[in-house]
Amino acid sequence: MLKIAIAGAAGRMGKTLVNAVMDAGPDVRLSAATVEAGDPALGFDVGLLAAGREAGVKAADSLARCEADFDVLIDFTSPAALAGHADYCREHRRSLVAGATGLGPEHHALLAAAAEHVAVLHSPNMSVGVNLSLDLLRQAAATLGDSFDVEIVEAHHRHKKDAPSGTALAMGRAVAESLGRDLDACAVYGHQGIGDERNRETIGFATLRGGDIVGEHSVIFAGPGERLEITHKATNRMTFAQGAVRAARWLAHKPPALYTMTDVLK
């Protein structure tokens, strides 16, 4: 029996993860869940909160205060919260599936440090379709080469705080690597005013935020006389949650290392 803990169980993604784990089958059990200190859900059954059915798991304000043990933690919270959770998993030898975006170099360093002791999987997007699109983007970039301009457009709901999204950056990185470029050096985050004509060596990003858009990403290869667009649209967060549960199953018995969703799918 695989025992899974959910961090941030009162959030939009957290509730979806609770549902996904509860519906994952008899070999998986939700055993622990956390919410922020002071959250109204503290002490309540997270199953009732997320799905209107009892899970037998009460929300705690930290992993240390959870009533039951767990094998794998799924964390889609925030960079700040992820840092503490990565430390906890390292110290207590628990595997970690991290889906938080907006991570800085210091957060990636913490995940790498934890991965020296436990199995850690980090991916900005757990969707099977998105991870397939990364392979398609590498192939398209390698085939089209430097003769096409590359622009990436992403859209998310009004509550998303980081921009561009982690998925958009992962797509940009996949294209840049195939073209032999450094994304940090060639990325352009928006066009404004009057300036020089477009430099073909750059990769452009455009960000949209509004309403309840779950997540949409398009990579546009614009060349002379033709345009290729590779697009992924998510219509339900359950896509990401089911991918995370699949990742947790795969990660449960893996040796300490830093993995990605690509490893799961292959």
CA-to-CA separations, 77 to 12, 40, 239, in angstroms, rounded? 10, 17, 17
Three-class SS string for the chain?
CEEEEEECCCCHHHHHHHHHHHCCCCCEEEEEEECCCCCCCCCCEHHHHHHCCCCCCECECCHHHCCCCCCEEEECCCHHHHHHHHHHHHHHCCEEEECCCCCCHHHHHHHHHHCCCCEEEECCCCCHHHHHHHHHHHHHHHHHHHHCEEEEEEEECCCCCCCCCHHHHHHHHHHHHHCCCCHHHHEECCCCCCCCCCCCCCEEEEEEECCCCCEEEEEEEEECCEEEEEEEEECCCHHHHHHHHHHHHHHCCCCCEEECHHHHHC
Query: Amino acid identity, residue 232?
Result: H
Q: In this predicted structure, what is the pLDDT of residue 196?
A: 86
- b (16+ CB within 10 A) / e for 139-152: ebbeebeeebbbbb
- Mean pLDDT for the stretch of residues 190-216: 93
**Are 229 and 246 contained in the same domain?**
no
Q: Name the band, by pLDDT with cuts 50, 70 and 90, for residue 195.
A: confident
**Are 73 and 158 contained in the same domain?**
no
**Are 206 and 251 contained in the same domain?**
no
Predicted confidence (pLDDT) at residue 187 exceeds the cutoff of 90: yes
Q: In this predicted structure, what is the pLDDT of residue 45?
A: 94
Q: Which tens digit of pLDDT belongs to each residue from 226-235? A: 999 999 999 9
- Mean pLDDT for the stretch of residues 16-21: 96
- Mean pLDDT for the stretch of residues 197-203: 93
Q: In this predicted structure, what is the pLDDT of residue 51?
A: 84
**Are 230 and 251 contained in the same domain?**
no
Q: Which tens digit of pLDDT belongs to each residue from 32-89? A: 999 999 999 999 999 998 989 999 999 999 999 998 899 999 999 999 899 899 999 9
What is the strand order of the sheet 72-75 is part of?
Answer: 28-33, 2-7, 72-75, 95-98, 119-122, 257-259
Predicted confidence (pLDDT) at residue 250 exceeds the cutoff of 90: yes
**Are 50 and 150 contained in the same domain?**
no
**Are 185 and 243 contained in the same domain?**
no
Neighbour-count burial of 95, counting CB atoms closer than 10 A to its CB (0-12 exposed, 13-18 middle, 19+ buried): buried
- Mean pLDDT for the stretch of residues 10-37: 95
CATH of the domain at 137: 3.30.360.10
CA-to-CA separations, 184 to 107, 169, 173, 181, 191, in angstroms, rounded? 17, 10, 9, 9, 17
Q: What is the mean pLDDT of the chain?
A: 94
Question: Beta-carbon neighbour count of residue 166 at 10 Å?
Answer: 18
Please tell me the distance from the alpha carbon of residue 164 to that of residue 36, in angstroms, as a whole number: 25
The number of folded domains in the chain is: 2
Residues acting as catalytic residues: 156, 160
- Mean pLDDT for the stretch of residues 203-221: 97
Please tell me the distance from the alpha carbon of residue 143 to that of residue 265, in angstroms, as a whole number: 24
Q: In this predicted structure, what is the pLDDT of residue 102?
A: 83
Q: In this predicted structure, what is the pLDDT of residue 239?
A: 93
Q: Name the band, by pLDDT with cuts 50, 70 and 90, for residue 190.
A: confident
Q: In this predicted structure, what is the pLDDT of residue 265?
A: 87
**Are 204 and 245 contained in the same domain?**
no
Predicted confidence (pLDDT) at residue 191 exceeds the cutoff of 90: no
Q: Which tens digit of pLDDT belongs to each residue from 127-181? A: 989 999 999 999 999 999 999 999 999 999 999 999 999 999 999 999 999 999 9
Q: Which tens digit of pLDDT belongs to each residue from 83-105? A: 899 999 999 999 999 998 888 89
- Note down the domain range covering 56: 2-122+237-265
Higher pLDDT, 51 or 1: 1
**Are 170 and 200 contained in the same domain?**
yes
**Are 24 and 88 contained in the same domain?**
yes
